[in-house]
Structure formats: structure tokens, C-alpha cells
């Protein structure tokens, strides 16, 4: 599974530019789902048809993970060929200075900063620029509106992995692996790989409207409280996937939350509960689609979220797959 994770995290795919990620996913799930389609916004919707099982009521289940990552977009170009930029999604200026970015055509740039007025001045994006090595504006092939993603390869630290775009390529990898390992299910399971989550949950909103699920689970990352002097949070790397109770955008459906926890206990899998005080996931949009959907979230504990070097625990990832396979193999208990 590490090779799959590497391929997905290193792919180019800031919000609205998810094509390469989508094609990678299509290649990996082909033959493991009954049908695939791409909707008008770019969401990849793959259906694994259920096979009736005695005594189990079939349900329509939607699993969602977003393909897009945070990035930057060119907003202005000066006469010397330096590119001013704006954030795409939640970009933290503290992580930018010296970072490398890559454009869709492979051009690489380095993020620099104007001389600060004070040595300890907090960096601001409006005081930064991208240097692509052009001697002047005339030799530049970039234009306003071009988008770039952060450039950082996956590093395998053994039990821990670090890469850019674990938010939410790790969720995409988990859904792909689940589709591959789920041999049979009594339910119609929709594996939905959404677009534009980082700029407003847009893909989840349209795909949920089209799928009309009975139950939905978003698979995304969550922050942790296990680093030195971290903001207090009862989530740690290696303690199992986290079952969301609440975040800033939603309260998880209690039935879905309990179904996840009871399944983990039945399978002997570690898990933890998550209360996230900032941020939300695709589940917020899904939950409020049409007349409402019973929705929950399975989160992967992640350090250094929204930086070019996010970190996850490989056991948490594998246990998330086992939990989803076990969940989808039996009756829906909500």
C-alpha cells in the first residue's frame, strides 16, 4: 500500500486541478468496482454493487475522500519575472519560505520573501513571491491564474510516513485499498473521490446530491495533540483511526459514530474518538444534502497538517482499511 500512497501524494492536484489524481485512482480501482463515472464538477464516483445476503437490509452507502490539495495561484507578475501569489485553501505563511512549488507543466519555483521591516516580523503571503529562475518578465512562460502545488516526495520513516498532501490523499488511498479488498458486500457502496474540498466542500455537495446515499462516511485527516506542548487534543499517532464526534462544521450522526466504534471493537481494532475544534470535512456538506444524510467521519491522525510535510502512522492507515472492510461486509447498524 505504500507504493499507492507514494503515487497519490506525489501527484499534482491543487483544488480544481485534480485530473492526474483522478486518473491514478481510476487505474487502481478498475476491475474492483462495477461502474465508474465523472460528474460535471470532476468528482469520480465508483459503484461497487451489492450482492443480496439473507437477513441483511441493503443500503446505499457513500464513502468520500477528497482528491485536491492546498496550493497557490499566481495573482501578479512583476517586471523582473517574480510571481506574486494567493493561497488556494488553508495555506500557512509560516511553512512557505524556501519551499518549492511545481506547476502543472512541471516548472518548479522557490518561494521567497521581501526583507522584513523587523527581524521577528510575522511572514505575510502578500510579502512573498515565487522565483522560477526567469531573468525577466519577457522570458517567463507563466501567467496570472496559473496554479502550483508544493513539491515534496514521500519519505518512509518505517512506521511513520511523511509527505505533502496526506490531506486527503491518504483518505483516497484508504478508499482505493478498501475497494480492492472488499470482496463482497450486501450494500451498494459508492466510492466517491471529491474535488475542491479545500475551497469549500464543493465536490461533496454535488456528488452527495447525485448519489442520494442512505449513509455516508468521509475519510479525511485530523490533527493530533501528541507533539511537545501541542494544543490539547485527545488524538495521537499510532492509537488507531479516529472516529469523529464533532468538528467546527458538524456533529457526527450518533448512529454512524457508534456503528464505527462497535465494529472496531468487534474486530479488535484500536480506535479513538475525535473532537476537532477547528476545521471540517466533506461530511458537513453530505450531511446537509437534499433532506439530510446520516453521516460520520473516519479520520487519520496527522501531524503538521496543511504543511508540505504532514505525518501519519502506517498502522492507523491499515487499520482504517480493515475497519471499513468489516463495516461494509455486514448490516448497517445505525
Partners of 242 in the beta sheet? 272, 299
Residues 6+ apart with CB under 8 A from 163: 5, 6, 9, 10, 152, 153, 154, 155, 169, 309, 310
CA distance 196 to 75: 19
Nearest CA among 74, 90, 69, 71 for reference residue 131: 74
183 among known catalytic residues: no
**CA 75, CA 99: separation in Å to the nearest integer?**
18
**Which residue from 172, 180, 203 is spatially nearest to 328, judged by alpha carbons?**
180
- 10, 18, 69, 197: which is the annotated catalytic residue? 197
Question: What size, in residues, is the chain?
Answer: 334
Q: Would you name the residues annotated as active-site residues?
A: 197
Amino acid at each position: 500500500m505504500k507504493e499507492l500512497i507514494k503515487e497519490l501524494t506525489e501527484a499534482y492536484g491543487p483544488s480544481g486541478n485534480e485530473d492526474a489524481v483522478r486518473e491514478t485512482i481510476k487505474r487502481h480501482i478498475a476491475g474492483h468496482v462495477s461502474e465508474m463515472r465523472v460528474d460535471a464538477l470532476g468528482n469520480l464516483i465508483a459503484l461497487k454493487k451489492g450482492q443480496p445476503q439473507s437477513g441483511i437490509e441493503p443500503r446505499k452507502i457513500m464513502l468520500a475522500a477528497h482528491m485536491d490539495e492546498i496550493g497557490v495561484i499566481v495573482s501578479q507578475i512583476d517586471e523582473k519575472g517574480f510571481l506574486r501569489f494567493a493561497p488556494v485553501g488553508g495555506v500557512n505563511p509560516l511553512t512557505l519560505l524556501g519551499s518549492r512549488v511545481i506547476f502543472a507543466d512541471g516548472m518548479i519555483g522557490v518561494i521567497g520573501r521581501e526583507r522584513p521591516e523587523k527581524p521577528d516580523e510575522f511572514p505575510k503571503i502578500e510579502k512573498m513571491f515565487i522565483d522560477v529562475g526567469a531573468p525577466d518578465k519577457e522570458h517567463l512562460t507563466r501567467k496570472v491564474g496559473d496554479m502550483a502545488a508544493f513539491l515534496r516526495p514521500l519519505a518512509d520513516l518505517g512506521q511513520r510516513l511523511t509527505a505533502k498532501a496526506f490531506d486527503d490523499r491518504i483518505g483516497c488511498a484508504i478508499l482505493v485499498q478498501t475497494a480492492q479488498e472488499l470482496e463482497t458486500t450486501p450494500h451498494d457502496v459508492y466510492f466517491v473521490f471529491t474535488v475542491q474540498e479545500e475551497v469549500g466542500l464543493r465536490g461533496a455537495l454535488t456528488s452527495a446530491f447525485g448519489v442520494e446515499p442512505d449513509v455516508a462516511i468521509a475519510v479525511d485527516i485530523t490533527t493530533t495533540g501528541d507533539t511537545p506542548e501541542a494544543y490539547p487534543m485527545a488524538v495521537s499517532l499510532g492509537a488507531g483511526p479516529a472516529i469523529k464526534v464533532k468538528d467546527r462544521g458538524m456533529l457526527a450522526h450518533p448512529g454512524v459514530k457508534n456503528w464505527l466504534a462497535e465494529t472496531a471493537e468487534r474486530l479488535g481494532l484500536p480506535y479513538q474518538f475525535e473532537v476537532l475544534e477547528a476545521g471540517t470535512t466533506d461530511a458537513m456538506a453530505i450531511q446537509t444534502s437534499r433532506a439530510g444524510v446520516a453521516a460520520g467521519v473516519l479520520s487519520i491522525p496527522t501531524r503538521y497538517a496543511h504543511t508540505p510535510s504532514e505525518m501519519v502512522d502506517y498502522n492507523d492507515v491499515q487499520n482504517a482499511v480493515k475497519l471499513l472492510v468489516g463495516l461494509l461486509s455486514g448490516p448497517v447498524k445505525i
